[in-house]
């Protein structure tokens, strides 16, 4: 009978993990993520740490398996790995990440608080701490945070104050409180739960009316190019001249109309030093029109190669990417893995990490905080890099993930950075999602995916810092530590 009950719990964890992603973009069934967390909370009740670890790992397999299944697309289609191998590598990746969830639930079950309040506090604190761990452990993979489910809801008002981890704390504690209330089924528990929901939603709405940042100067015009170039075409040298002509024609048309012309990550398929004449032409064009052209392209110096953003105008400025994607931009254990399969030899997978002291680009519209692709998903990294800038800009090439939900998740996290920092975000992507996001995290203008087009819009620079921009993740982590302290103190009193 005990085995049967454990199997039922395991199935509940797997289904709950699979359902979590439905709360995020593009599905946006917000309650799915909350229900997912609540189910895990109930499933591990009364289990020993070993059983808890296994249940947490099973939940994690579903959680990451559904949430980051888009990794398969880049491995199979662009890495040219056979279906079976691509599926196996994706499975290993997701199962490895799930070990963190297993450790998280094992710790909860090892303590197993007796009272409901302590259970909620411990589970919430561990969830937030482990989300934070994923921002830096093994270079970091800060994806699938439950706090992202709060965007476009009243609770998003807390984002500029506590950041995504703080909002995760609110949502996880709410999920656990709902689970406890459904278990107890008393009027008092229902009343407390109703009061809590009223407080977090009304306070979120109230805080959302606060403008932590202020307008700076006049609006500026931007022209963001979405060229919709296939990955395989981009690095085919036979297409180089056609692409260069296309981008130059785009600059001729739009530099006269916009203050800022934005091209996506890796737009120019050559190293910066390989075509000085072409760069000079772009610079003359930008200078004549009082504009700045922002483009993604590789650069190299002192024997190192970088994935970069280059600002071309009165001055030439470069930002080199600091958060590199494993296997996509560098290959761990390179000497052992290079040459085994095509996936480990993808184009431009030998980049170096950029200098952390350089994180702004001066342009005709003022200083920009630049982020390339994956960097925008690191909350504290973006917060630190945004302090001296009035506009956030991120360029990407999400063509690596095809028609999957990966690009939608990526865009949702980019929107969240604008919300946390209350600064507008300009996003240029090769095949989408290309958009302008306002300081409240709302989409001001957007292009459809998989279409070649230019987004023309107005962007309003803003100055000032939100509480999150100043304090980063520390408030959310401090609250989590206070929750842990509460649990420890309560447990000691029970022992007496």
Q: Active-site residue among 156, 180, 265, 317?
A: 265
What CA dihedral angle connects 304, 310, 316 and 322, to 10 degrees?
-50
Cβ neighbours around 49 below 10 Å, total: 17
Helix axis angle, 474-495 to 159-184, nearest 10° = 30
**Distance separating alpha carbons of residues 388 and 386, to the nearest angstrom:** 6
Q: Active-site residue among 321, 323, 420, 423?
A: 321
Indicate if 373 belongs to the active site.
yes
Of the candidates 277, 307, 493, 485, the one whose C-alpha atom is nearest the C-alpha of residue 396 is 307
- Exposure of 440 by Cβ count < 10 A (0-12 exposed, 13-18 middle, 19+ buried)? middle
Distances (CA, A) of 230 to 236, 260, 293, 321, 400: 10, 25, 22, 22, 9
**Distance separating alpha carbons of residues 91 and 433, to the nearest angstrom:** 27
**Distance separating alpha carbons of residues 29 and 110, to the nearest angstrom:** 33
Q: Active-site residue among 180, 373, 375, 420?
A: 373
Q: Which runs of consecutive H residues, i.e. helices, occur in 313-444?
A: 334-337, 379-386, 406-421
Residues 246 and 215: beta-carbon distance below 8 Å: no
Backbone angles phi, psi at 197, to 5 degrees: -60, -40
Of the candidates 150, 145, 131, the one whose C-alpha atom is nearest the C-alpha of residue 200 is 150
Tokens read off for 70: 């888009």
> Do β-strands 391-396 and 366-372 pair in parallel, antiparallel, or remain unpaired?
parallel
Indicate if 265 belongs to the active site.
yes
**Distance separating alpha carbons of residues 362 and 145, to the nearest angstrom:** 32
Positions marked catalytic: 265, 321, 373
């Amino acid at each position: 009978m005990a085995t049967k009950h454990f199997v039922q719990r395991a199935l509940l964890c797997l289904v709950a993990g699979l359902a979590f992603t439905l709360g995020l973009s593009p599905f946006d069934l917000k309650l799915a993520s909350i229900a997912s967390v609540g189910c895990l909370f109930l499933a591990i009740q009364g289990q020993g740490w070993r059983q808890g670890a296994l249940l947490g790992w099973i939940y994690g397999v579903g959680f990451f398996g559904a949430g980051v299944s888009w990794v398969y697309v880049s491995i199979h289609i662009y890495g040219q790995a056979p279906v079976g191998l691509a599926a196996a590598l994706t499975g290993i990746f997701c199962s490895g990440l799930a070990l963190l969830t297993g450790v998280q639930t094992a710790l909860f079950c090892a303590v197993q608080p007796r009272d409901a309040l302590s259970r909620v506090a411990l589970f919430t604190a561990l969830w937030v701490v482990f989300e934070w761990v994923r921002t830096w452990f093994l270079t970091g993979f800060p994806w699938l945070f439950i706090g992202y489910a709060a965007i476009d809801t009243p609770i998003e008002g807390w984002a500029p104050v506590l950041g995504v981890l703080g909002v995760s704390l609110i949502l996880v504690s709410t999920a656990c409180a709902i689970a406890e209330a459904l278990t107890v089924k008393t009027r008092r528990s229902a009343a407390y739960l109703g009061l809590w929901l009223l407080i977090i939603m009304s306070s979120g709405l109230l805080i959302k009316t606060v403008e932590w940042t202020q307008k700076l100067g006049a609006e500026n015009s931007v022209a963001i190019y979405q060229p919709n170039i296939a990955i395989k075409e981009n690095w085919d040298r036979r297409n180089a001249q056609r692409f260069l002509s296309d981008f130059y024609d785009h600059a001729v048309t739009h530099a006269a109309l916009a203050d800022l012309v934005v091209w996506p990550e890796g737009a120019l398929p050559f190293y910066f030093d390989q075509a000085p004449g072409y760069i000079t032409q772009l610079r003359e064009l930008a200078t004549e029109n009082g504009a700045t052209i922002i483009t993604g392209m590789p650069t190299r110096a002192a024997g190192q190669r970088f994935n970069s953003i280059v600002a071309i105008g009165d001055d030439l400025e470069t930002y080199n990417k600091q958060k590199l994607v494993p296997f996509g931009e560098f290959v761990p254990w390179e000497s052992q893995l290079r040459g085994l399969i095509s996936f480990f030899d993808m184009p431009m997978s030998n980049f170096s990490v950029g200098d952390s002291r350089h994180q702004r680009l001066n342009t005709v519209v003022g200083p920009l905080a630049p982020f390339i692709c994956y960097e925008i998903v690191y909350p504290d990294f973006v917060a630190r890099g945004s302090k001296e800038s009035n506009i956030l800009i991120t360029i990407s090439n999400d063509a690596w993930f095809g028609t999957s939900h990966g690009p939608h998740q990526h865009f949702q996290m980019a929107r969240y950075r604008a919300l946390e920092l209350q600064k507008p975000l300009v996003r240029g992507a090769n095949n989408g999602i290309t958009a302008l996001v306002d300081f409240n995290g709302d989409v001001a203008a957007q292009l459809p995916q998989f279409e070649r087009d230019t987004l023309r819009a107005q962007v309003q620079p803003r100055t000032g810092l939100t509480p999150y921009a100043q304090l980063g993740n520390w408030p959310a982590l401090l609250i989590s530590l206070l929750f842990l302290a509460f649990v420890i103190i309560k447990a000691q009193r029970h022992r007496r």
